[in-house]
Amino acid sequence: AQSVAQPEDQVNVAEGNPLTVKCTYSVSGNPYLFWYVQYPNRGLQFLLKYITGDNLVKGSYGFEAEFNKSQTSFHLKKPSALVSDSALYFCAVSFTGNQFYFGTGTSLTVIP
């Protein structure tokens, strides 16, 4: 069975500090990996994806993610957090681009 784990329900970080939101996955094969962000009462917005190539992927709004095949992880990072980054973040895996398996989400709060 495919599974995606986001071990932290809540992450708090001070504005200006680096942030990390963790994601590990347990799937067979070589999935595509995604990060999405959800603001209150909104749909999910795509941040970045990894398919193949460089293990460090850059995405929207200054976010990046590091793929680690041996640890089956795909952690989301940002060098300097903004208050406006406060939102719910979801990690997802897909094999076909049609069926996405999501983690349970991590609520990020950036403290001014």
Measured from the CB atom, is 7 or 97 closer to other proteins?
97
Task: Find the binder of other proteins among 26, 80, 99, 109 (CB under 8 A).
Answer: 99
Strand ranges, E, within 15-86: 19-21, 24-26, 32-38, 44-50, 56-58, 64-68, 73-78
Q: What residues are paired with 93 via a beta bridge?
A: 33, 101
H helices of 7-81, in order, are none
CA distance 1 to 15: 38
Site string for other proteins, 1-40 (x = CB under 8 A): ---x----x----------------------x-x-x----
Judged by CB under 8 A, does residue 44 bind other proteins?
yes
Q: Which residues bind other proteins (CB under 8 A)?
A: 4, 9, 32, 34, 36, 41-46, 49, 51, 90, 92, 96-105
